[in-house]
Chain A
Amino acid sequence: MTDPDTPAVVRNPWRRLRQYTDARIGLGRAGVSLPTSELLDFQLAHARARDSVHSPLDVPALTQALANTPKAAALGPPLCLHSQAPDRKAYLQRPDWGRQLSEQSVAELGNLRKTLSKPPHLAIVIADGLSSRAVQQNATGFLEIFLNDLGAQAQTPYLTPPLLVEQGRVAIGDPIGQLLGACQVIVLIGERPGLSSPDSLGIYLTHAPEPGLPDSRRNCLSNIRPAGLSFGLASQRLLYLIREAERLKTSGVALKDRSNEVELDESDQNRNFLVQGKRQ
């Protein structure tokens, strides 16, 4: 199976099986090593993932994007907050710092609370997490659809303006929610980037947030991005979780997301083609 144009490279005809998986199968080989094109493809994917982790959140651009979308703009101007992690290096080594607000941010939330007419039902937090790219590319688009779906409900909950957090971890929503007296908090956050998914947004819902809650008290939606879980489906699932958390007065493991249950597919017995071989 050597290629007449590049005889040093042996190609793998089973590469066509990539229609069944995103795994990097059938890469071919130069000797026993990766062909140059495959080596560089991998390097590009890794570079994008690394840049997602290390590029700072462009707060002015995100603020502008929120101002340009009607539903998000109606929430009022975003409040910009910061965790106790001063920079990315500290953030990566000290997850505990990323879960706590800077002193200045605590003061600013105190000021915000004074302007609210009552404690909010839902605090909306947007944090860079481990992928600023995910937030930059997906947070505004998701939020617009979600706010639209939320507004179509019988009772529209009282919401906070978007609360943008730099160097934030998921649990940063706990002190924010508590300081505002919010019933619930959602944290839109950049997930740890995979090689083929540098732009995955995660959303975590916590009912009755306060510092020190275990992760088992949160519900999570993952892999929200154009090539993953769509904004529309994510919005519907989040609305379901918010309603259920309100009904149960808690969130986390006690709240099973039955909208997301995977049924075992008994019909796919034949898909192990290594044994069946031919079409059944």
Chain B
Amino acid sequence: MAGGYRYQMGSQTWRFRNLAGLMAKATPPRSGDRLAGVMAESAEERVVAQMCLAELPLRTFLSEALVPYEDDEITRLILDSHDANAFQAVGHLTVGDFRNWLLSDLATPEAIEQLRPGLTPEMVAGVSKLMRNQDLILVAQKCRITTAFRNTIGLKGRLSTRLQPNHPTDDKAGIAASILDGLLYGNGDAVIGINPATDSVAQTRELLTMVDSVIQHYGIPTQSCVLTHVTNTIEAIEQGAPVDLVFQSIGGTEATNRGFGFDLSTLREAQDAALSLKRGTVGQNVMYFETGQGSALSANAHQGLDQQTCEARAYAVARHFSPLLVNTVVGFIGPEYLYDGKEIIRAGLEDHFCGKLLGVPMGCDICYTNHAEADQNDMDNLLTLLGVAGCTFIMGIPGSDDIMLNYQTTSFHDALYARRALNLKPAPEFESWLESMQIFQNTERVALNPDVPAAFRHSLTGPDGGNPDD
């Protein structure tokens, strides 16, 4: 079908230039696809593209690469690691039938798990384009992905949080103040992860040592991460820094990742280096990846794909390295990629669904910038929807205001809202720690201790001393 795709409706014939074009035109509207010039030109063309896509045999994605095999190591990774035996369960289906299968009672959590090595990101992205938000939620709920390092992430009925104590000058007292705030609000079981303001190996080591000392001092069953470039982390490991998790932002094309300054071999090297430290106590998932729709286009490396298909391909990269955590930073990139709350919410649900179906421990940075048409109510909506969908983790920062990155994400309070409203608990090891430290009075009711727990009272004076009872 190299000559393109056609769809006959009555006397009218609709044409799509190729599979990538068909996928793009079948995508729910968003500004990044408009910017790239790949979006459907009318609402009708979009639905016709969805009808055409629904009739496409799933196996087409195995013979027709969206980015050429010869040009792209991610395409090679996807096709070379495809498991034809696992695929047999759905190999006879069209994309539309695959949606029906996923929603049916045939698709048990066990059946999805067995199918996973037979799925490619393009199949998953394709079926997501035919799904409503409730479909994305219902199928994601059936996907179980559990990972572990110093605690166990992703169990049913659990929602973890990354404590993100960023500071615009990496001031240690400022970072410590935000960590204290987060811990006393019961946040931080996914990771205590800092975006450094100064991006250097020396600064990375400083911050890693700082957070490691806090984790050790209080015996917190969690892990630390400084979100610097993967090559900085490799160097920090060589210099003896206490690295728990290796971070990297990843995209869905080789060209995107080269623009970010790494390739798959760099990630392999970093994973091996982190594994050699043997710092995990209950598991050895040592990688932490961030993604986000629009990153390939913004690196001018989208290769004619729509941004959601590019994003799903990033999860093929992620799952190859058995990460502890992966999250889409859904609203950070700006309104030229996701214009408003509606587009951000849709993208968040798509990313979570695609990640989970492919076997990635998917979380979400539920966020927006001040030039997007979005506000706290949109974030409440997405948080609630993702909580229902079984999202692995969210961010937690003081009062939703990241004073370093200048955007808004979910707060420590927001996580407690989700726990109460949806009866979700933190990772079991962390939950026990919160109880033993008397941070929570009652974890069942998500009731915090109204007083400052004894172990933290000495911290109330900060680095400069003074009388804590002032």
Q: Do A and B come from one complex?
A: yes
Where the two chains meet, the residues of A that have a C-beta atom closer than 8 Å to any C-beta of B are 1-2, 10, 12-14, 16-27, 29, 31-34, 38, 42-43, 45-46, 49-50, 52-53, 92-96, 130, 192-198, 262, 264, 268, 270-279
Is there a chain A Cβ closer than 8 Å to B109's Cβ? no
A195 touches B336 (CB 8 A): no
With beta carbons under 8 angstroms apart, the residue of A25, A27, A92, A274 that contacts B336 is A92
The answer to whether B470 and A16 have CB atoms under 8 Å apart is: yes
A277 CA / B409 CA spacing, docked (Å):
30
Q: Does B6 contact A (CB under 8 A)?
A: no
Contacts of A193 in B (CB 8 A): 370-371, 406
Answer whether A24 and B398 are a contact pair too, CB < 8 Å, given A19-B462, A275-B214.
Answer: yes
A194 touching B214 by the CB < 8 A rule? no
Nearest-neighbour CB distance to chain A for B210, whole angstroms, equals 5
Partner of A195, one of B172, B214, B217, B408: B408
The 8 Å CB contact of B452, one of A13, A42, A53, A275, is: A13
Report yes or no: A23 in contact with B403, Cβ–Cβ below 8 A.
yes
B398 surroundings in chain A (CB, below 8 A): 23-25, 27
* Interface pair B450/A25, CB less than 8 Å apart: no
Least CB distance from A189 to B in Å reads: 13
Q: A13, A14, A21 — which one has the most chain B CB atoms within 10 A of its CB?
A: A21
Question: Are A274 and B176 interface neighbours, CB within 8 A?
Answer: yes
Question: Bound state CA distance, A95 and B333, in angstroms?
Answer: 13
Q: A264-B203, A273-B462, A279-B465 are in contact. Are A24 and B452 (CB under 8 A)?
A: no
Stretch of B12-20, B119-127, B179-187, B239-247 at the chain-chain interface: B179-187
A-B contact pairs, 9 of them (CB 8 A): A1-B452, A2-B450, A13-B452, A21-B173, A21-B177, A23-B397, A96-B35, A275-B213, A277-B458
Q: Which 9 A-B pairs have the closest CB atoms?
A: A24-B399, A279-B465, A21-B174, A32-B416, A194-B406, A25-B181, A20-B173, A49-B370, A271-B172
**A95 near B206 (CB under 8 angstroms)?**
no
| Contact of B413 with A14 in the complex, beta carbons under 8 Å | no
CA distance A27 to B411 in the complex (A): 11
User: Do the beta carbons of B173 and A94 come within 8 Å of each other?
Assistant: no
Task: Pick the contact of A27: B172, B198, B413 (CB < 8 A).
Answer: B413
B417 at the interface (CB under 8 A from A): yes
- Cβ contacts under 8 Å, B336 to chain A: 92-95
Q: CB-CB < 8 A to A43: which residues of B? A: 376
Which partner residue on chain A sits nearest B182 by CB separation?
A: A25
A93 to B340, CA, bound (A): 10
Please tell me if the beta carbons of A272 and B174 are within 8 angstroms of each other in the complex: no
Q: Cβ of B303 < 8 Å from any Cβ of A?
A: no
Asked if residues B176 and A26 are in contact (CB atoms below 8 Å), the reply is: no
Contacts of B202 in A (CB 8 A): 264
- Pairwise interchain contact B35-A93, C-beta atoms closer than 8 A: yes
Q: What's the nearest-Cβ distance from chain A to residue B209, in Å?
A: 9
Bound state CA distance, A25 and B406, in angstroms? 16
CA distance A21 to B165 in the complex (A): 10
Interface size for B (C-beta < 8 A) is 68
Cβ of A45 to closest chain B Cβ, rounded Å: 8
Do A32 and B420 form a contact, CB below 8 Å, given A192-B369, A192-B370, A273-B461?
yes
| Residues of chain B within 8 A of A24, CB atoms compared | 398-401, 411
Query: Chain A contacts of B84 at CB under 8 A?
Result: none
Closest to B406 in A: A194
Q: How far is the CA of A19 from the CA of B397 in the complex (A)?
A: 18
- Once the chains bind, are A22 and B403 in contact (CB under 8 Å)? yes
- How far, in angstroms, from A272 to B459 measured CA to CA in the complex? 10
Of all chain B residues, the one with the shortest Cβ separation from A192 is B371
Question: When the two chains form their complex, are residues B403 and A14 in contact, meaning their CB atoms are under 8 A apart?
Answer: no
Question: CA of A274 to CA of B180 in the docked complex: distance in angstroms?
Answer: 8
Partner of A23, one of B213, B401, B451: B401
**Which of chain B's residues has its CB closest to A10's CB?**
B450
Q: Is B214 in contact with A92, judged by CB distance below 8 angstroms? A: no
Select from chain B the residue with minimum beta-carbon distance to A280: B463
Considering the chains assembled together, what is the distance between the CA atoms of A193 and B369 in angstroms?
Answer: 9
Q: Which residues of B contact A94 (CB under 8 A)?
A: 35, 336
> A260 → chain B, closest Cβ, in Å?
11
Q: How far is the CB of A94 from chain B (nearest CB, A)?
A: 7
Compute how far the CA of A133 lies from the CA of B172 in the bound complex, rounded to whole angstroms. 32
Q: How far is the CA of A260 from the CA of B328 in the complex (A)?
A: 33
Further pairs besides A20-B174, A274-B180: 17, Cβ < 8 Å: A1-B451, A14-B459, A17-B181, A17-B460, A21-B403, A23-B181, A24-B401, A32-B417, A32-B420, A93-B34, A192-B370, A264-B198, A271-B173, A271-B463, A272-B172, A274-B218, A278-B461
Beyond A23-B401, A25-B181, A197-B406, whether A273 also contacts B370 by CB under 8 A is no
A277-B459 contact in complex given A23-B399, A92-B336, C-beta closer than 8 Å: yes
A276–B202 CA distance with the chains assembled, in angstroms: 21
Known pairs A27-B399, A33-B413, A278-B465; A195 contacts B339 (CB<8 A): no
Write the nearest CB–CB distance from A37 to chain B, whole angstroms. 12
B178: which A residues are within 8 A, CB to CB?
A: 21, 23, 25
Residue of A nearest to B198 (CB): A262
Cβ of B335 < 8 Å from any Cβ of A?
Answer: yes
Q: How far is the CA of A53 from the CA of B370 in the complex (A)?
A: 8
Contact of B448 among A29, A42, A49, A275 (CB under 8 A): A29
Which chain B residues border A270 with CB–CB below 8 Å?
A: 463
Question: Chain B residues with Cβ under 8 A from A29's Cβ?
Answer: 413, 448
User: From residue B56, how far is it (CB to closest CB) to chain A in Å?
Assistant: 30
A177–B348 CA distance with the chains assembled, in angstroms: 41
Residues of B close to A196: CB separation below 8 A = 401, 403
Q: Is B46's CB within 8 Å of the partner chain A?
A: no
Complex: A131 Cα to B413 Cα, angstroms: 29
Given contacts A1-B450, A275-B214, contact A21 B171 (CB under 8 A): yes
